[in-house]
Structure 1
Amino acid sequence: MRVSVVEVASSWRDIREVTSRAGHYRAELAVLGASKGIDFRWHDPDVSATELAASDALLLLVLSGGTEQLGMSVISRWKGPLAILAHPGDNALAAAIEMLALARSTGHAGIIIQASPGWRDGVSLAFALAKTHASLRRATIGSLGSREVEIMTPWALEGAVSEVWGPQLVHLPLGQLVRYSREADMQAAQDIVDEMRAQAPRVVEPDARAMLGSARIYLGLKRIVEEHGLDAVAVHCFALLTPLANTGCYALARLNDEGVPATCEADIPSCLTMLFMRYLTSAPSFLANPSSIDLGSDTVVFAHCSIPPSMCATYSLRSHYESNLGVGIAGELEPGPVTVVRIGGKDLREIYAASGRLVECGDREDLCRTQLSVRFDRPEDARLLLSRPLGNHHMIVRGDWTHQINQYCSYFRD
């Protein structure tokens, strides 16, 4: 990632003091760049818009007060997100606050980082968020088929995805997936079946025919992803039951492990959520339904059939729960911290993000195959699922990412 750094200081300040401050920050940022893979490029305040445009983000280093006009002249030549690093003294923070207020009023996304102990972590996070933002704005989500019930009309949904979060949404015929699955190379499909058998410690319902059909759906879906340059895909998987007598569970799980967020039931808000979390965490997530909510223990059971195998300590190959067809995955995960996330609400402007702890995995036969019991850190987060849900499907990702999610929304959302 390339970041332009511009220092601003008042001409009334002692030049030796300003030079000393600047040297300190240059040395610290050099260490940060080497450890995080950030290419910091230093510029004078009169840097041109063309030079700035060659970078992915802007860091404005405010070394003193009395710099508002100089800083805003730099910001006026910049089109993307910015971070303002304020020296801890000499009225630098006051100037930084004024700059950000003016910048946000003209449509810039930005954040202030105070140069107090730990500031390098703040800078690193700011540019990780900027990278997520840039990746979303370059992304394309494919939708194969449509849901029977959707939160808004297709054209409004397409506009909300693009305008609020960035990705372009393209609608593709589900029939293309049916055709490509039928055309899939038999030997390639058989090789995938052999991988399934070799990697899964236990196979319950799926026979050779079911596994071969699931492998062909995976190959067909991967072909569509590659042909259309998709970064994520949402599939109306129930519509595959009749023409293919199989399901998309295995295909979606495997694509997620390969870095392509893939959701079932043509759920575009969930696909957007999964893509956001992939860019933010570089990790796969598990789309699941809340199946029971115990407000006494603040514990929610989430279940579904398409968990990415890489998230599991071990797993079994089962059938898809509702249809008893195809290949679903019954995963068992190690206990530990998780984040539950969902984008939704009016124009997709709301996000639900709750931290908790995965306490156990279930094996009930009346639920989808992978069953995770999550105890929420805050009781109100469990209650919100019953009082103000943003939708049924939620993404579960390993680790507590609520701080990063909240910072992203503070940085880039109104």
Structure 2
Amino acid sequence: MKKPKIFIIPVMSKIHKEKILKPFKKIKKIFGKDMEVLSFEKPLSSIDEFSQLKIEDADATVVFVCSGGTSQLVAKIASNKDWFILAYPENNSLPSALSAKEKMVSAKTWKGKLVYTDMLQPPKKIVDAAYASRMLKLVKNTKIGLFGEKNEKLMEKINFVEEYFQVKSTVYPFEKLNSVWEAISYKEAEERLSDKLRGFVVKVSRKDLVEAFRLYLALKNMVKTEKFDYVTMDCFKYLNLKGITPCLAFSLLNDEGFFGICENEVVHAPLMFMLTNLTNQPCWIANTTTIKLKKNSVILAHCTAATKLSDKKKKVIIKNHFEPGLSVSLDVPLMRKNVTLVHLAFKP
């Protein structure tokens, strides 16, 4: 993911003109560690100067209070804006920032956030907000392909992600997926799977493996032709219908930067998208099954983990799905690294 953009609006009083150039330059350098910095060339000292300039589109906008004597100007610039007002220890910056906020609160035009920085590190609140804003822009208008039957519960979830994340969903009957699956021959799938699954330990029948790989090829075709970012299905209904699980397909798609989502869990699609883009690592859906307090550990049950997350010294195992004992799932020996667990409650 590209770094988010931050736009800095520097304001000053004319009597501080010579003193504020150094902190202005420094704050741009500090923010430049984590973000792409946009700014006016020099600090502003009047509303007329501000009105003649254009603010570029950014993921976060910051009014940097370079000096004292600027509270009225800051209040005029930032009224009714969800911008950050940034103060620092020098040149009477903080008193002016506090006064500007007070003016806007009194006028009922305060919608921003006041942040103080020691000028050593970029303020975490601003960096986090910029990344969050960037994520919401990226996830907007992404597309989910769902396979199975429409029902009230599924439509609630679809409406939720569309309302809050502007994620678009299309529901297809299983017949649509089956027609794509049937167009891929058993022989073609068998020829292509050897390279894709090289080095894996296979503990399922050849037929189960090939049929599951055909489903991967079918879903990948749908992703490409329909320009989907995510695919999901009612997994166990499809297992009952075709005798095939989508676990292998979802895992391989997660490896490739798409998103295979278990059990029509549409609500988690935006989370998967944002986490993968933030970390540049695949993510997947798992169930928390066991908490071992004495060992300070948690056990997660998974069947679609991206193989890219595996410990290269160990082997990925392809085995029957642990619940029905049928078809194909994966046992991925994960690398020993920090892990982030995220849950989104649809109806808390």
TM-score by length of 1: 0.68
- Correspondence for 2:171: 172
**CA displacement, residues 12-39 of structure 1 (integer Å, 9 cap, x when unaligned):** x42211233323334x25xx53x65625
Q: Is the 8 A contact 1:284 1:311 kept in 2?
A: yes
- Correspondence for 1:237: 235
Q: Does 1:273 align with 2:271?
A: yes
Q: Is the 8 A contact 1:129 1:280 kept in 2?
A: no
- Correspondence for 2:320: 319
Displacement of 1:295: 5.0
Q: Is the 8 A contact 2:212 2:248 kept in 1?
A: yes
Displacement of 1:86: 2.3
Q: Does 1:52 align with 2:55?
A: yes
Distance (Å, rounded) in 2 between the aligned partners of 1:50 and 1:230 = 40
Distance (Å, rounded) in 1 between the aligned partners of 2:257 and 2:52 = 34
The unaligned stretches of length 5 or more in structure 1 are: 347-389, 391-414
Q: Is the 8 A contact 2:11 2:65 kept in 1?
A: yes
Q: What secondary structure does 2:304 align onto?
A: coil
Q: Does 1:3 align with 2:2?
A: no
Q: What secondary structure does 2:321 align onto?
A: coil
Q: What secondary structure does 1:291 align onto?
A: strand
- Correspondence for 1:157: 157
Which stretch of the first structure deviates more once superposed, 215-224 or 37-46?
37-46
Residue identity in the other structure for 1:275: F
Q: 1:213 to 1:48 in 2, by over 3 A?
A: farther
Report matched runs for 1:5-404 at 5 Å.
Answer: 5-11=8-14, 13-26=15-28, 28-29=29-30, 33=32, 36=34, 38-42=36-40, 46=49, 51-75=54-78, 82-93=83-94, 95-96=96-97, 99=101, 112=115, 114-119=117-122, 124-145=127-148, 153-164=153-164, 166-175=165-174, 176-184=176-184, 189-200=189-200, 202-205=201-204, 207-295=205-293, 299-313=297-311, 314=314, 315-346=316-347
Distance (Å, rounded) in 1 between the aligned partners of 2:94 and 2:124 = 18
Q: 1:93 to 1:237 in 2, by over 3 A?
A: farther
Q: 1:131 to 1:212 in 2, by over 3 A?
A: same
Displacement of 1:183: 1.9
Q: 1:279 to 1:183 in 2, by over 3 A?
A: same
Q: 1:62 to 1:182 in 2, by over 3 A?
A: farther
Displacement of 1:124: 4.8
Q: What secondary structure does 2:264 align onto?
A: coil
Displacement of 1:60: 2.5
Q: Is the 8 A contact 2:115 2:123 kept in 1?
A: no
Q: What secondary structure does 1:329 align onto?
A: strand
- Correspondence for 1:412: none
Q: Is the 8 A contact 1:141 1:167 kept in 2?
A: no
Q: What percentage of aligned pairs have identical amino acids?
A: 22
Displacement of 1:203: 1.0
The unaligned stretches of length 5 or more in structure 2 are: none
Distance (Å, rounded) in 2 between the aligned partners of 1:73 and 1:48 = 11
Distance (Å, rounded) in 2 between the aligned partners of 1:185 and 1:48 = 65
- Correspondence for 1:393: none
Distance (Å, rounded) in 1 between the aligned partners of 2:111 and 2:222 = 36
TM-score by length of 2: 0.79
Distance (Å, rounded) in 2 between the aligned partners of 1:106 and 1:256 = 45
Q: Is the 8 A contact 1:111 1:126 kept in 2?
A: no
Displacement of 1:277: 1.6
Distance (Å, rounded) in 1 between the aligned partners of 2:104 and 2:144 = 34
Q: What secondary structure does 1:340 align onto?
A: coil
Q: Is the 8 A contact 1:113 1:119 kept in 2?
A: no
Q: Is the 8 A contact 2:285 2:304 kept in 1?
A: yes
Distance (Å, rounded) in 2 between the aligned partners of 1:162 and 1:95 = 42
Q: What secondary structure does 1:160 align onto?
A: helix
Q: What secondary structure does 1:247 align onto?
A: coil
Distance (Å, rounded) in 1 between the aligned partners of 2:150 and 2:293 = 31
Distance (Å, rounded) in 2 between the aligned partners of 1:106 and 1:199 = 62
**CA displacement, residues 115-138 of structure 1 (integer Å, 9 cap, x when unaligned):** 432227765544333322321234
Q: What secondary structure does 1:242 align onto?
A: helix
Distance (Å, rounded) in 2 between the aligned partners of 1:198 and 1:309 = 12
Q: Is the 8 A contact 2:88 2:117 kept in 1?
A: yes
Distance (Å, rounded) in 2 between the aligned partners of 1:228 and 1:110 = 41
Q: What secondary structure does 2:215 align onto?
A: helix
Q: Is the 8 A contact 1:203 1:318 kept in 2?
A: yes
Greater share of strand = 1
Displacement of 1:332: 1.4
Residue identity in the other structure for 1:234: T
Distance (Å, rounded) in 2 between the aligned partners of 1:141 and 1:299 = 34
Which stretch of the first structure deviates more once superposed, 58-67 or 184-193?
184-193
User: What is the RMSD computed on CA atoms of the aligned residues?
Assistant: 3.6
Which stretch of the first structure deviates more once superposed, 129-138 or 154-163?
154-163
**CA displacement, residues 200-259 of structure 1 (integer Å, 9 cap, x when unaligned):** 1x1112x22222212221122122222333222332222221333211001111111111
Which stretch of the first structure deviates more once superposed, 291-300 or 56-65?
291-300
